[in-house]
Amino acid sequence: MKANRVTLWIILASATLTVMAGSILAPVLNLIREGLGVGTASAGLIITTHALFVALFSPLIGSIIDKIGVKKPFIFGLVLYGAAGGSGLFITSYWVLIISRALLGIGVAAVLNSITVMILNLYTGEERNKIMGRRGSANTFGGIIWPLIGGILGGFSWHLPFAVYFVGIPLGFCALITVPEIHRELKESSGPVLKVFRENPILFVIYSLFFLVMALVTSIVVFLPPLLGEMSISNPVYISLFIIIMSFSAGVTSFMYGRIKSKLSYRMIVLIVLALWTVAFTTISQGSSGLVIAAAVALFGIGGGMISPAVMVWAGETVAISFRGRIVSYLATFGYIGQFMSPVIFGPVAVHGLTGVFLAGGGVCAVLLVLGLISMRR
């Protein structure tokens, strides 16, 4: 069944919500901390709690999608997203807010996985690649726009940014009317999912790549600001520009992903991305000026804009339609675990110097690049 233009806009608008889940509160995190009377670490959980629940609940959501189709989980996720996220507008208790953020994470898991499966099921060939690329652009540009909105609303009250989450509810009603359901042949659903992994070991490579993507992106978000501080770049506005440069370059590249994929195989894309990231991270570790580091993060963003849509389509195309919900959900789980584990992995290195974090990241990418080239030759 084909998707119309309205359905596409619903999909792309919903895609921005997944990145909005945490980013819209980042500018007002200090105000939330003061308003609730909690410490810095406790306030940080307000932003990160949903990510943990995305990782935990994605496999369950994937199984549900494979059993009943994608439309109902998508609508459920949007409505839960709006209700749980928007409830922060009225909540004044820290622990009640944390519970609402956990529920938000379940909603994000449903929306995130449903969007990926919908694109895989509603589109084919070059059109699928183009739409997945636009989904990546929606994600990255949402990461630029939503924090700005959160900062503006936070100037009036730290509660107000939570009201934006309510947009999920009308989107859910729009999805009810416009999103088609894809009916599966029952014979396609036979066989255990473990058999799929035995027959397609490349899936473990794809999952590992997405883990790496999210871990490296988070390492830049966490460790680049203090590194810039050591270079006397401490103004929050200036620091935010580096993240915006990374997001903008990723968004532009994702928008062009359809053209990129028409000329390159998945394996070539991976090798090019690893080469870009090796140069980017090594340059950051040795960079002596803000302009050099800005160019490096732009290079990293270009790689991210290529690899993110690639791994999603690659994973979905590897298996039959009846397994896509579960296979895609594990991709989300690996990605959000990578995001959660990034400070844990690179933290011990940071103790000995922030430049070492980026040198280590570049070293990992270089080793993987060499292994990939050897594998290609064989």
Max CA pair span of the chain:
63
For residue range 133-153, what is the model confidence (pLDDT) as tens digits?
Answer: 898 888 888 877 887 888 788
Average pLDDT estimate for 359-374: 92
pLDDT given at position 187? 42
| pLDDT grade for 183, boundaries at 50, 70 and 90 | low
d(CA 76, CA 95): 24
Number of helices and strands (H, E) in the chain? 15, 0
pLDDT given at position 107? 95
Average pLDDT estimate for 244-268: 89
CB atoms near residue 212 (< 10 Å): 22
Q: Where in the chain is the domain with CATH 1.20.1250.20?
A: 5-183, 193-377
pLDDT at 99 > cutoff 90: yes
pLDDT at 337 > cutoff 90: no
Model pTM score: 0.81
- Candidates 188, 365, 175; CA nearest to 282 is 365
d(CA 249, CA 326): 31
SS3 289: coil
pLDDT at 1 > cutoff 60: no
CB 315 within 8 A of CB 206: yes
d(CA 133, CA 144): 17
pLDDT given at position 153? 87
pLDDT given at position 222? 76
Q: Which helix (H) or strand (E) holds 160?
A: none
Average pLDDT estimate for 56-70: 90
Domain at 5-183, CATH from 3.20.190.10, 3.30.390.10, 1.20.1250.20, 3.30.70.1230: 1.20.1250.20
Structure tokens at 293: 């580091």
pLDDT at 378 > cutoff 70: no
pLDDT given at position 2? 53
- 3-state SS track over 83-118: HHHHHHHCCCCHHHHHHHHHHHHHHHHHHHHHHHHH
Looking at domain 193-377, its CATH class is mainly alpha
